[in-house]
Structure 1
Amino acid sequence: MKNVSFTELNGAVMTALLDGDLARASAEAGVGLTDYFLADKALWLWRYRLGQMADNPAAAHWCGRLAVCGPDGAVVGHGGFHGPPDDAGMVEVGYSVDPAFRRRGYARATLTELLRRAAADPDVTTVRASISPDNAASLATIAGFGFTEVGELWDEEDGIETLFEVPVRQAVRPSAA
């Protein structure tokens, strides 16, 4: 399995990305970013996360991380949670891999690290993932981690999504197969 580490995706980085300044965003992040971080869907996310962090500064350390891999420190994607744990101790995981790095195990490695992050916080009891029913890659990514289907919802951005949850202490690392 690939290994990733996280670098904070802070407000200064997101602001630079929203300004279309990839060089400044990379300098702020301390790692090189690609045009993937300037795609329309990413820009929507940075705008949303900045608003979320403005409303609740304590949410910042939950919301965004750059997934960095390998000795050259390639940024393969990003991941985080939709916010801090709710009153029931649930966090919703979110992650995305740059298309240039897909189908190489980085999504699974990113999810593994996010589950570790969640398990390290005593306030987290459950991790949720919401996935479009036709997103075979994401469904395959969560396989082996102990997620169970618990329902569905309509997401204004992505349409119908299936909800999966796993008790954080029972989340298992998938086999190396």
Structure 2
Amino acid sequence: MTNPLAPPLRFVELPAAAMTALLDKDLAKAGVLTGVELTDYFLADGLMWLWRYRLGQLADDPGGAPWILRTLACGADGGVVGHAGFHGPPDEVGMVEVGYGVLPEFRRRGHARAMLVELLRRAAADPRAITVRASISPGNVASEATIAGFGFAEVGELWDEEDGMETLYERPARPTAPAGPAAARTAP
């Protein structure tokens, strides 16, 4: 699953206090709390609702923090190139949904795929995670290209109040090896 061409990334936790600082539009404080310099990208309207929503999730379920808290993806030079995480912990049927975003100036360089690799690795490491979901707006060719080759299959559509219509893709958290001649020889 590792892509040798993907840029190396380092992930830094985005704690609740940093999300609160971002909601207060205090980039300097958020930077101190994360240990990395953040840009105005993290103050955009499209992310402000996200920080509010994630803080609400944490208030409702503090135990979900390892899944809910976003991480900042930093490139080789230490600068933040995007954010990644899950929409929440595994639900009652073991489904987790990935979420990631790349700063505009770093797009089309493999960062989203590198983030997805790490998210899939995280899901595979937890036995509670059975299925990984990605929801993508129809026509978002870049996001569809990001998940291509990772075993996702289209499973339906969903109306999201924030994002509108989304196509749902899912894959097993731990893909099984394909059944082949070797498997047939060992079957009873």
Question: Which TM-score bucket, shorter chain as reference?
Answer: over 0.9
Q: Which residue does the alignment assign to 2:117?
A: 112
Runs (4+) of structure 1 exceeding 6 A deviation are none
Q: Which residue does the alignment assign to 1:175?
A: none
Correspondence list, 1:12-91, <5 A: 12-63=17-68, 64-70=70-76, 72-91=77-96
TM-score by length of 1: 0.93
2:126 counterpart of 1:128: no
Q: Which amino acid aligns with 1:24?
A: K
Distance 2:60 2:106 in 1: 33
Deviation at 1:61, TM superposition (A): 1.3
Cα pair 1:133 1:160 within 8 Å, conserved: yes
State percent identity of aligned pairs: 68
Alignment deviations for residues 104-139 of structure 1 (CA, whole Å, 9 cap, x no partner): 110000001100011111111110000001111101
- Across the aligned residues of Structure 1 and Structure 2, the Cα RMSD in angstroms comes to 1.3
Q: Which amino acid aligns with 2:44?
A: A
Q: Which amino acid aligns with 2:74?
A: V
Alignment deviations for residues 61-97 of structure 1 (CA, whole Å, 9 cap, x no partner): 1121111221x21111101111000111110010101
Cα pair 1:8 1:61 within 8 Å, conserved: no
Distance 2:93 2:18 in 1: 31
Distance change (3 Å), C-alpha of 1:171 and 1:66: farther
Aligned length: 171
Distance change (3 Å), C-alpha of 1:171 and 1:111: farther
When structure 1 is superposed on structure 2, of 130-139 and 4-13 the one drifting more is 4-13
Q: Which residue does the alignment assign to 1:164?
A: 169
Distance 1:54 1:88 in 2: 22
